[in-house]
């Protein structure tokens, strides 16, 4: 099972998401081809209703604690409740370009 599949499975089991996207953005960084070290997660769940952003991120970090202690270098989180998701028309910002090193 890939890292992306593990992340997806754990988040689906714990948050019963309305919407979930787990994107491997490693190719955008100075890492070997096929790496699974940089991820963008868009997670929409009723579990986030009434929760502040930092609490939402802590909830996700707790669920993914094993992965975060291992090979994940970066995890961009977009954690929304369903109302926020629909207000934003299902859109979250793109990740910024990597400034961590030259690929050449």
Expressed as residue numbers, the domain containing 47 is 3-87
The answer to whether residue 59 sits within a structural domain is: yes
Average pLDDT on 11-22 reads 97
Average pLDDT for residues 27-35, to the nearest whole number?
Answer: 69
In a domain, 96, yes or no: no
pTM of the model: 0.84
What's the confidence (pLDDT) of residue 97? 67
User: Would you state the pLDDT for residue 29?
Assistant: 67
Please indicate, yes or no, if residue 39 is contained in any of the structural domains: yes
103 in any annotated domain: no
Does residue 99 form part of some domain? no
- What is the average pLDDT across 29-51? 85
Q: Does residue 94 form part of some domain?
A: no
Higher pLDDT among residues 74 and 82, named by residue:
82
Number of domains in the chain: 1
pLDDT of residue 85: 92
Report if residue 23 sits inside a domain. yes
Q: Is residue 94 pLDDT above 80, yes or no?
A: no
3-state secondary structure the chain: CCHHHHHHHHHHHHHCCCEEEEEECHHHCCCCCCCCCEEEEEEECHHHCCCCHHHHHHHHHHHCHHHHHCCCCEEEEEEECHHHHHHCCCCCCCCCCCCCCCCC
Residue 103 pLDDT greater than 70, yes or no: no
Q: Specify the CATH number for the domain of residue 14.
A: 3.30.300.90
22-47: average pLDDT: 82
Residue 72 belongs to a domain? yes
């Amino acid at each position: 099972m890939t890292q992306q599949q593990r992340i997806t499975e754990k988040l689906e089991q714990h948050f019963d998401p309305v919407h979930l996207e787990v994107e491997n953005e490693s190719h955008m960084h100075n890492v070997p081809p096929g790496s699974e070290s940089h991820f963008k997660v868009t997670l929409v769940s009723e579990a986030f209703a009434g929760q502040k952003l930092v609490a939402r991120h802590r909830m996700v970090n707790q669920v993914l604690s094993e992965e975060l202690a291992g090979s994940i270098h970066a995890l961009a989180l977009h954690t929304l409740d369903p109302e926020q998701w629909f207000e934003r028309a299902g859109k979250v910002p793109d990740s910024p370009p990597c400034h961590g090193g030259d690929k050449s």
